[in-house]
Structure 1
Amino acid sequence: MDMPTVAIVGRPNVGKSTLFNRLVGKKLALVDDRPGVTRDRREGDVAFGGLHFRVIDTAGLEEADAATLVGRMRMQTEAAILAADVVLFVIDARAGVLPADQPFAEMVRRAGCPVILIANKAEGGAGLAGAYEAFTLGLGDPIPFSAEHGEGLGELHEMLKGVLPMPEDDEDEDDGPGGRSLKVAIIGRPNAGKSTLINRMLGEDRLLVGPEAGITRDSISLDWEWRGRKIKLHDTAGMRRRARIDDKLEKLAVSDGLRAVRFAEVVVVLLDATIPFEKQDLTIIDLVESEGRAVVIGLNKWDLVADQPGLLKQLREDCTRLLPQVRGVAVVPLSGLAGEGLDKLMQAVVQASEVWDKRISTSRINDWLSEATSRNPPPAVSGRRIKIRYATQVKSRPPHFALFGNQLNALPKSYTRYLVNTLRETFELPGTPIRLSLRTSQNPFDKG
């Protein structure tokens, strides 16, 4: 599992970089009495009393035109807030709450992730009045803190322990010779041949199989190795529409299948090649996409239809038409029973995991943005053209991008589809879910 991310944000010169250095345990960030020393996001790994997370030190939040250096620094900070699991919002306890703190407190609240309010520079009780004043920000109880002297670290540890996402119980995360296990779930409609396929992969009759649908009742986790790469395979119960489930045990099995999807990095959706792209197949793929997992489609029982010329080409075209949300997804013909196509399936799985985990530099993303908006400019709303000023990738797994500009909430769906499709083509992101967040400027100086 990726380490959770903690972003340190606040006005310039409230002591964010001093706090960053204190958490990381060394002076990675420049510290000075002048505001604006930190201009970019700086990251470091933290081991803090049994907690492990990545901390991001950000540029001070200031109102500014998005086209200026300060405006671009602010956008970087907004991107860090968007990517964070937890935000540490820092104020200067000696100065108290200033009017400039309020709009940024609102920005952090809108982000929707847990916030810990730190009233810094409160050493020796000097800033306690300012710390109490911090209640007015509506971000919960402030911690009176001194990044300079390490006061308040115990309280910070307790609060972080309560809000940081807990690591999954991944006994498979061992970094042996083959590295970390790639987690793969195999799902599909009942009787699509999932257990037969896994038995063929493992080279043994590890799972019960038969012509009756619904033999697999729970999600089974199995360790395997392919070309020296550790794989943790999850066979799941066949997923059918809830309206057709009346057996209590099967209801539990379907929810267990959903859990396997959330646990996986890559999900192989197995279709029956003799009756592919049934409504239920499309629903399952849509579920996997909404959970943000990499997708590979396996056309099982291909040996039964392999004599039909042009069928594979036709099914790939059907896939593009029916599943635009995972455009370019790998569609692999195979036969679990005959043991054909398994190598190609696993190659597609590994490639899908690499795409899902891909990171793209901000400079390349903004080159793409400039080209995409020049070729097809955003529309005008009420006579004023929508402007997209800046873009960055805030997360991977799946790739998640944030766009900053004015009136972005008025962007039509067709235009955001255009942006996602060109992102997919430009950066070679086939078959993976792509997330796009639109961040409209609240800047009073931004007149577009």
Structure 2
Amino acid sequence: MADRRRPMRPVAPVPSADLPLVAIVGRPNVGKSTLFNRLVGRRQALVADTPGVTRDRKEGLAVMRGRTIRLVDTAGLEEAAPDTLFGRMRASSESAVRDAVLVLFCIDARAGITPADEHFAAWVRKQGRPVMLVANKAEGRGGAAAAMEAYSLGLGEPVAVSAEHGEGLSDLMGEIVDHLPPEPEPEDVFEEEDEFEPDVEAQDPDAEIVLPARPPGPIRIAIVGRPNAGKSTLLNCLLGEERMITGPEPGLTRDSVAVTLHDEGDVFEVVDTAGLRRKARIDEALEKMSVSASIEALKMAEVAVLVLDATLGVHEQDLQIARLIEREGRACVLALNKWDAVEDRNATRQAILDRLSISLAQMRGVPVVTFSALTGASVQRLLPAVREACEVWNARVPTGALNRWFEAALERHAAPLVDGRRLKLRYMTQVKARPPTFVIFGTRAEQTPEDYKRYLVNGLRETFNLPGVPIRLQTRGTKNPYSKS
């Protein structure tokens, strides 16, 4: 077993928590998410012609006239009982308003002022926050005239924009900056280097494994799994607040929502994703967009937390998601939620691990954390497991130790015959981490059979203590100088 020592690593500051927060609110389908995407400068929030697409608050950074702000897209304001889905969505929007230094109250200029606009405008005035009135969908020559009707809401002069066509956004950004509190005096901050590439060979050449400091910045985590596995409840428990909309209804989360949290000096960027169902069951355009956002979040992550409902065991769709994690080369932590409802825990845990080891050899040794996101029991064990998985994902093995092991592996089981000739595998090196990737050089090395590659990968995993992360093994043959081809 290799001696794994956790190195000190610099953590880049995450300034977004200290930036002014601006919340976009309004009734459903007035174009809040489209406006949000325009102001942050990229398609970050899901947009569709269906009312109520946005359910959870979504944050993004926007730069306006040299000022960087936190912009929050919220769910549409609707009158509903607190225990209903729409009531929970409204409570989330109200929380964003309480934290904001400025509220953008958005209306649909084409539809005119509705009773719902009047009701929620009166509510916003009572919140004690500065409010700007934004008349969206005011494109064309008649748009500005239609926007003037919004004066009746008593929120001051409306700013006419068309988020879909990009009209009036420059004036809006100028007004937003004018309404922000004064910018604080700049402080000295840690300057990052342009590139981060640890010098592995400069470290102890006799060490079995080297765990270099990872690049500065937060550890990026994607929480993935099937619908109703408890992903959003888990994120709320980690944050200690009701940040995400939760409930018994499956598929509540539609968009990928990123939040930042701190733990023991580390910074984590955690993305809650929409539940992934079998492709055959995905028929709505909106769900296809949600799945695409989830997969994109997984590609950007360092560690994927695969959440399973422990009371249901491993479903075929769980295995498909695990295969996706392996294919994307992410580190993985298996999170068994609802553990408090499991009766025979030893048998359940073993059954899940056996199913994974049979169906997914690359997931062998994946760290497993059992907890109850609803009660919070044992959730504190998750982030340490994520740290450990991230360190393994960043692992680099010195070339000397690697080739000493390679020679011993060849002696134990010689390279096989291919077309009657034995392969001459000469040496091995690690070309990259994240995930650990190795290359074998030798005569006709590219003809190495898959079963022999699996033998070498299993040996690498066991000898250098690389559990639960994908290991890439490539081969590169030498060219015969006398060959005419």
Match of 2:305 in 1: 268
Q: Give the C-alpha shift of residue 409 in structure 1.
A: 2.5
Q: Quote the Cα distance in structure 1 between the aligned partners of 2:367 and 2:343.
A: 18
Match of 1:198 in 2: 235
Indicate how the Cα distance of structure 1 residues 190 and 54 shifts in structure 2: closer, same or farther if over 3 A, else same: closer
Q: Quote the Cα distance in structure 1 between the aligned partners of 2:276 and 2:351.
A: 26
Q: Quote the Cα distance in structure 2 between the aligned partners of 1:348 and 1:308.
A: 20
Match of 1:434 in 2: 471
Q: Give the C-alpha shift of residue 310 in structure 1.
A: 3.2
The answer on 1:184 being equivalent to 2:221 is yes
SS state at 1:402 partner: strand
Moved more, 297-306 or 191-200: 297-306
The match for 1:419 among 441, 452, 456 is 456
- The correspondence of residues 10-49 of structure 1 with structure 2, limited to 5 A, is none
Match of 1:395 in 2: 432
Q: Give the C-alpha shift of residue 210 in structure 1.
A: 0.9
Q: Give the C-alpha shift of residue 52 in structure 1.
A: 4.7
Q: Quote the Cα distance in structure 2 between the aligned partners of 1:387 and 1:326.
A: 30
SS state at 2:334 partner: strand
The match for 2:364 among 327, 332, 356 is 327
Q: Give the C-alpha shift of residue 309 in structure 1.
A: 4.5
The match for 2:414 among 353, 367, 377 is 377
Letter in 2 for 1:379: P
Match of 1:4 in 2: none
Cα deviation 1:418-443 (Å, max 9, x = unaligned): 01000111110000011111001114
The answer on 1:362 being equivalent to 2:426 is no
Indicate how the Cα distance of structure 1 residues 309 and 258 shifts in structure 2: closer, same or farther if over 3 A, else same: closer
Cα deviation 1:127-150 (Å, max 9, x = unaligned): xxxxxxxxxxxxxxxxxxxxxxxx
Match of 1:212 in 2: 249
SS state at 1:216 partner: coil
- The correspondence of residues 122-141 of structure 1 with structure 2, limited to 5 A, is none
The match for 1:252 among 278, 281, 289 is 289
Q: Quote the Cα distance in structure 2 between the aligned partners of 1:54 and 1:221.
A: 24
SS state at 1:310 partner: helix
Q: Quote the Cα distance in structure 2 between the aligned partners of 1:255 and 1:274.
A: 28
Cα-Cα RMSD: 2.2
Q: Give the C-alpha shift of residue 389 in structure 1.
A: 0.2
Match of 1:352 in 2: 389
SS state at 2:468 partner: coil
The answer on 1:295 being equivalent to 2:326 is no
For structure 2, which runs of at least 5 residues remain unmatched after alignment?
1-192, 199-214
Indicate how the Cα distance of structure 1 residues 294 and 309 shifts in structure 2: closer, same or farther if over 3 A, else same: closer
Contact kept, 8 Å, 2:245 with 2:252, in 1: the verdict is: yes
Q: Quote the Cα distance in structure 2 between the aligned partners of 1:195 and 1:393.
A: 38
SS state at 1:223 partner: strand
Letter in 2 for 1:396: A
Letter in 1 for 2:335: G
Give every structure 1 segment of 4 or more consecutive aligned residues whose post-TM-superposition deviation is greater than 4 Å.
Answer: 51-56, 306-309
Cα deviation 1:390-415 (Å, max 9, x = unaligned): 10000000000000001222221110
The answer on 1:283 being equivalent to 2:320 is yes
The answer on 1:222 being equivalent to 2:249 is no
Q: Quote the Cα distance in structure 2 between the aligned partners of 1:260 and 1:225.
A: 20
Q: Quote the Cα distance in structure 1 between the aligned partners of 2:223 and 2:300.
A: 12
User: Bigger relative contact order, structure 1 or 2, given CA contacts below 8 A and separation 6+?
Assistant: 2
- The correspondence of residues 312-323 of structure 1 with structure 2, limited to 5 A, is 312-323=349-360
Q: Give the C-alpha shift of residue 243 in structure 1.
A: 1.5
Q: Give the C-alpha shift of residue 180 in structure 1.
A: 2.2
Contact kept, 8 Å, 2:303 with 2:332, in 1: the verdict is: yes
Q: Quote the Cα distance in structure 1 between the aligned partners of 2:311 and 2:255.
A: 26
Number of matched pairs: 276
Indicate how the Cα distance of structure 1 residues 53 and 232 shifts in structure 2: closer, same or farther if over 3 A, else same: closer
Structure whose CA Rg is larger: 2
Indicate how the Cα distance of structure 1 residues 445 and 394 shifts in structure 2: closer, same or farther if over 3 A, else same: farther
Q: Quote the Cα distance in structure 2 between the aligned partners of 1:205 and 1:298.
A: 20
Q: Quote the Cα distance in structure 1 between the aligned partners of 2:254 and 2:477.
A: 47
Cα deviation 1:187-239 (Å, max 9, x = unaligned): 00011100001101100100001111111010000010122211111000001
Q: Quote the Cα distance in structure 1 between the aligned partners of 2:359 and 2:337.
A: 19
Q: Quote the Cα distance in structure 1 between the aligned partners of 2:384 and 2:241.
A: 21
Q: Quote the Cα distance in structure 2 between the aligned partners of 1:181 and 1:382.
A: 50
Percent identity between matched residues is: 48
Q: Quote the Cα distance in structure 2 between the aligned partners of 1:226 and 1:55.
A: 25
Q: Quote the Cα distance in structure 2 between the aligned partners of 1:54 and 1:444.
A: 38
Moved more, 376-385 or 217-226: 376-385
For structure 1, which runs of at least 5 residues remain unmatched after alignment?
1-50, 57-174
Q: Quote the Cα distance in structure 2 between the aligned partners of 1:439 and 1:306.
A: 51
Q: Quote the Cα distance in structure 2 between the aligned partners of 1:313 and 1:239.
A: 24
Q: Quote the Cα distance in structure 2 between the aligned partners of 1:328 and 1:55.
A: 27
TM-score (norm 2): 0.55
Q: Give the C-alpha shift of residue 346 in structure 1.
A: 1.3
Match of 2:374 in 1: 337
Match of 1:304 in 2: 341
SS state at 2:312 partner: coil
Contact kept, 8 Å, 2:310 with 2:338, in 1: the verdict is: yes
Match of 2:167 in 1: none
